[in-house]
Amino acid sequence: MDAALTYPPDQDLRRLLRFEPDSGAIWLGERRMVLLHTAALTALRHDLITSVGKEQARRLLTRMGYACGLHDAGFAAKIRGSRTLEEMFMVGPQLHMLEGAARVTPVVLKMNAEAGQFEGEFRWDDSWEAHAHRLNYGVVDEPACWTLLGYASGYTSAFMGRHILFKETRCGACGDDHCHIVGRPIDEWPDGDAHRQYFEDDSLLEKMDALSQQVEALKSSLGPTEAGGMLVGSSPGFQRAHDLMLRAAGTQVSVLLTGETGVGKERFARALHEHSERAAGPFVAVNCAALPAELIEAELFGVEKGAFTGAHAARAGRFERAEGGTLFLDEVGDLPMPAQAKLLRVLQEGEIERLGSESARRVNVRLVAATNVQLESAVERGLFRRDLFYRLNVYPICIPPLRERPSDIEPLARHLLARFTALHQKRLAGFSDRALLALTRHDWPGNVRELENLVERGVILAAQGSVIEVEHLFPNQPDVAHDGIDPQGRLARRAPQDEQALCERVLDSGVPIESLEAQVLALAVERSRGNLSGAARLLGISRAQLAYRLKRQQPAETD
Ligand SMILES: [Zn+2]
């Protein structure tokens, strides 16, 4: 056998490996190791393939093997610095065996360190990874010893100081009785470039980012028909807001939409966009409260490649993506101060600067901002820039909460019913009268969004062909004392005899009526687990009435 292909004794390597069970550590030289069950690694490998797909799993495992090889290359010169180049190189295959990857037999090894030339072929018997792959997937068409190949590539690349790519020409996972690997510099492989992806980092995150941008664009393109139909309401308060919106649509003015959570600010913004001459352009929505403060500037204004760690590629911000259209900034009150300063500049100059960029680019974007907090008081408290507030507040539109426009509840509920029955393929004959009454009595802290959720739930819970009843809308609430027809044919509380008996017991008990009220209120709040709307429903009063009664019980000096 060729002398270059024989292993020197591996005593020097075995001495590196120390088990220290008392300190809970295993060492290879100065590097800490762990013993893992191949069964656990097999399971992890399988999970990776299932959750991120074969290509991404291959990349992650290749990179893990590559890192191991890279570290082991550090031992070569340290341990066998005085030996021949080939003996020094054999540290890799010998360590790979010591670490339990496979039995490695050198077949070809030609290298010239100065010229950077490398050609190597090795035989692997009993690769743990080929076994693992066959265990989960049976015999496959493509070689699968990704971690092991990563190791060989990492070790040899570090040893040679240039990227050496190893590929399998036979593999146990493909049904061969052993694996066979061939390595040479990556640029000498005709398909070398196609393999570079397996050694690169981070591409998964960027792909997910790209995908989420696509989803967002699709959503924007689906939005309009939905938006037009959702602006339902004929109450004066709603009509006033609607008129203001229509009049702003024909202009370029920046609009500030205010109103409680769930009143439909984004729908107003979409409708404004749809009625404007920018309708053919994109509508891009950003929820400032949903983005972490450290990402928001990159998200809004974009980044240049290398602007910060992790900025692997230049990326357009939302402003640029809204070019020619409308940018909707929801919960603008949550913008951090530095981002507020930048936003103000954009509004003043009509130009944005990507993070890490020296030059400004002009943008043609109509801004619609929205907030559910009082921006004036945020300004007073120093949390929001006054100049930005004035800039945004040129054309404010306040969308009233649902409880201030009760006449809109029923038409909205019917509109939503039509939408959700179509969506869930249900045939329903509408709402029961009691359900409609419960809807109008509810005081809607979550506004239209809450109504939407309730109606969708009702559509799902009601039986095919029936009507939506109270318990379908408010399924977690115990049945409320409800109205019926008394013997005189008038609307009255059911079971008046029971009530009379109850009143007599109260009188007999001698409990003062105020204390009784306090206890009943407390019980209702407790039964609805602190949900005041639920408690009010149990008591047959409005949430505001309940809040008033609860407050009345507290000593005046509590605040
Ligand atoms: Zn293999």
Query: Which 3-state string (H, E, C) describes 294-325?
Result: HHHHHHHHCECCCCCCCCCCCECCHHHHCCCC
> What spacing in Å lies between the alpha carbon of 201 and ligand 1's midpoint?
23
Q: Write down the pLDDT at residue 529.
A: 81
Give residue 108 CA to ligand 1 midpoint distance, Å.
18
pLDDT at 477: 60
In angstroms, what is the span from residue 522 Cα to ligand 1's centroid?
70
pLDDT given for residue 127 in this prediction: 97
Predicted local confidence at residue 204, as pLDDT: 65
The alpha carbon of 174 and the centre of ligand 1 are apart by a number of angstroms equal to 8
pTM here?
A: 0.50
CA 123 / ligand 1 centre spacing (Å): 10
pLDDT at 503: 79
Quote the ligand 1 centre to 8 CA distance (angstroms). Answer: 25
Using the mean position of ligand 1's atoms as its centre, give its distance from the Cα of residue 179 in Å. Answer: 5
User: CA 338, CA 336: separation in Å to the nearest integer?
Assistant: 6
Which of 458, 463, 460 lies closest to 473, judged by CA?
458
CA of 13 from ligand 1 middle (Å) equals 25
Averages of pLDDT over runs of 10 residues in the chain (559 residues) are 81 90 89 92 95 91 95 92 93 95 96 91 97 94 96 95 95 96 95 88 68 64 47 89 93 92 92 93 92 87 80 85 94 92 91 88 93 90 93 93 92 90 86 89 90 92 88 70 46 56 80 85 86 84 85 61
Distance 125 CA to ligand 1 centre (A): 9
Please give the distance, rounded to the nearest whole angstrom, from the Cα atom of residue 26 to the centre of ligand 1. Answer: 27
102: CA distance to ligand 1 center in Å? 9
How remote is the CA of residue 190 from the centroid of ligand 1, in Å? 21
CA of 176 relative to ligand 1 center, distance in Å: 9
Residue 386 CA to ligand 1 center (angstroms) comes to 66
Q: How far is the CA of 38 from the centre of ligand 1 (A)?
A: 15
